[in-house]
Structure 1
Amino acid sequence: MRLPVMVGENMLCAPFREQRFTARIPISMQNAPAATAGDLAATARAMVPTLRARAEETEKLRRIPDETDREFRAAGFYRIFQPARFGGYELDYGVQTRLADEIGRGCASSAWVMSITAIHSMMLGMFPAEAQDALWGDNPDATVATSFLPRKVEIEPGKGGFRVKGRWGFSSGVDHTQAVLLMLTVPDGQSRRAGFAFLPKSEYEVEDTWYAAGLAGTGSNDVVVADAFVPEAHFLPAMETRGGPTPGSAVNSGHLFRLPLFAVFPYNLVGPALGAAQGAMEAVIAEMTQRSSVAHQKLAEQQSVQMRIAEASAEVDAARALIMRHLEQINEMGRAGQSPDMALRTLYRRDLGFAAKLCVSALERVFPLIGGQGLVPGHPIQRAWRDVHAVAQHLGLTWDIQASLFGAVALGQPSPDPRL
Structure 2
Amino acid sequence: MNTAALDLPAPPEPGLTPEQVIARAEAMIPELVERQAEVEERGFYAEDIHERFARNGFYRILVPRRYGGYEFGVEAFLRVAMTLVRGCSSTGWMYSLGASHALMAATVFDEQAQAELFSCGDFICPSTAVPNGTAVPAADGGWTVNGTWPYSSGAPYGTHFMGHTLMPAEGGQPPTPLLFVAPRSQWVRLDDWGQQLGLRGSGSHSVRMTNCHVPDHLARPGVVIVDYDATSGTPGRTLHGNPEYGGALHAFISLLNCSMAVGMARGALDAYEDLLRDRTTMVPPVVPRYQDRDYQLWYSDAFGMIGAAEAALLNAAQQWRHTAALGPAAVTRESDLRLSAICLQAANLCWEAMGNYILPTAGSSAIRHGERLERVWRDMSTLRTHAGFSVLLRTIALRELAQSLAR
Shorter-chain TM-score tier: 0.7 to 0.9
Name the counterpart of 1:311: 301
Name the counterpart of 1:196: 179
Q: Which aligned runs of 4 or more in structure 1 are off by greater than 6 angstroms?
A: 25-28
**TM-score by structure 2 length?**
0.87
Secondary structure of the corresponding residue to residue 156 of structure 1: strand
**How much does 1:252 deviate?**
3.1
Asked whether the equivalents of residues 63 and 123 of structure 2 are also in contact (C-alpha less than 8 Å), the reply is no
**How much does 1:58 deviate?**
0.8
The AA in structure 1 aligned to 2:134 is E
Secondary structure of the corresponding residue to residue 171 of structure 1: coil
Asked whether the equivalents of residues 187 and 210 of structure 2 are also in contact (C-alpha less than 8 Å), the reply is yes
Name the counterpart of 1:30: 10
Name the counterpart of 2:335: 344
The AA in structure 2 aligned to 1:193 is T
Aligned mates of 1:414, 1:111 — CA distance in 2: 40
Seen in structure 2, the aligned counterparts of structure 1 residues 141 and 105 have a Cα distance that, compared at 3 Å, is: closer
The AA in structure 1 aligned to 2:86 is R
Matched, 1:355 2:355: no
Asked whether the equivalents of residues 150 and 169 of structure 1 are also in contact (C-alpha less than 8 Å), the reply is no
Aligned length: 389
The AA in structure 2 aligned to 1:182 is G
Seen in structure 2, the aligned counterparts of structure 1 residues 248 and 92 have a Cα distance that, compared at 3 Å, is: closer
The AA in structure 2 aligned to 1:362 is A
Asked whether the equivalents of residues 113 and 217 of structure 2 are also in contact (C-alpha less than 8 Å), the reply is yes
Aligned mates of 2:216, 2:48 — CA distance in 1: 37
Name the counterpart of 2:53: 72
Matched, 1:209 2:183: no
Report the structure, 1 or 2, having the larger strand content.
1
Matched, 1:97 2:88: no
Name the counterpart of 1:255: 243
Matched, 1:227 2:211: yes
- Greater shift, 320-329 or 202-211, is seen at 320-329
Asked whether the equivalents of residues 360 and 388 of structure 1 are also in contact (C-alpha less than 8 Å), the reply is yes
Seen in structure 2, the aligned counterparts of structure 1 residues 414 and 162 have a Cα distance that, compared at 3 Å, is: farther
Residues 371-400 of structure 1 show CA distances to partners (whole Å, capped at 9, x for unaligned) of 222342210011111222222332342167
Aligned mates of 2:360, 2:3 — CA distance in 1: 48
Aligned mates of 1:147, 1:400 — CA distance in 2: 15
**How much does 1:186 deviate?**
2.1
Matched, 1:84 2:70: no
Matched, 1:134 2:122: no
Asked whether the equivalents of residues 357 and 399 of structure 1 are also in contact (C-alpha less than 8 Å), the reply is no
Counterpart of 2:375 (choices 359, 383, 391) is: 383
Asked whether the equivalents of residues 124 and 154 of structure 2 are also in contact (C-alpha less than 8 Å), the reply is no
The AA in structure 2 aligned to 1:279 is G
1:360-379 to structure 2, matched below 5 A, reads 360-364=351-355, 365-379=357-371
Secondary structure of the corresponding residue to residue 217 of structure 2: helix
Which blocks of at least 5 consecutive residues in structure 1 are unaligned?
Answer: 1-24, 416-420
Name the counterpart of 1:183: 164
The AA in structure 2 aligned to 1:129 is E
Asked whether the equivalents of residues 248 and 324 of structure 2 are also in contact (C-alpha less than 8 Å), the reply is no
RMSD: 2.5
Residues 318-353 of structure 1 show CA distances to partners (whole Å, capped at 9, x for unaligned) of 211221112222213323424333332211111111
- Greater shift, 233-242 or 203-212, is seen at 233-242
Matched, 1:409 2:401: yes
Aligned mates of 2:101, 2:327 — CA distance in 1: 22
Counterpart of 1:242 (choices 221, 229, 241) is: 229
Asked whether the equivalents of residues 247 and 323 of structure 2 are also in contact (C-alpha less than 8 Å), the reply is no
Report the structure, 1 or 2, having the larger helix content.
2
Seen in structure 2, the aligned counterparts of structure 1 residues 414 and 205 have a Cα distance that, compared at 3 Å, is: farther
Asked whether the equivalents of residues 136 and 143 of structure 2 are also in contact (C-alpha less than 8 Å), the reply is yes
Seen in structure 2, the aligned counterparts of structure 1 residues 294 and 49 have a Cα distance that, compared at 3 Å, is: same
Seen in structure 2, the aligned counterparts of structure 1 residues 27 and 313 have a Cα distance that, compared at 3 Å, is: farther
| Sequence identity (%) | 25
Asked whether the equivalents of residues 111 and 271 of structure 1 are also in contact (C-alpha less than 8 Å), the reply is no
**How much does 1:309 deviate?**
1.3
Name the counterpart of 1:292: 280
Secondary structure of the corresponding residue to residue 81 of structure 1: coil
**TM-score by structure 1 length?**
0.85
Seen in structure 2, the aligned counterparts of structure 1 residues 353 and 231 have a Cα distance that, compared at 3 Å, is: same
The AA in structure 1 aligned to 2:124 is T
Name the counterpart of 1:332: 322
The AA in structure 2 aligned to 1:326 is A
- Greater shift, 121-130 or 68-77, is seen at 121-130
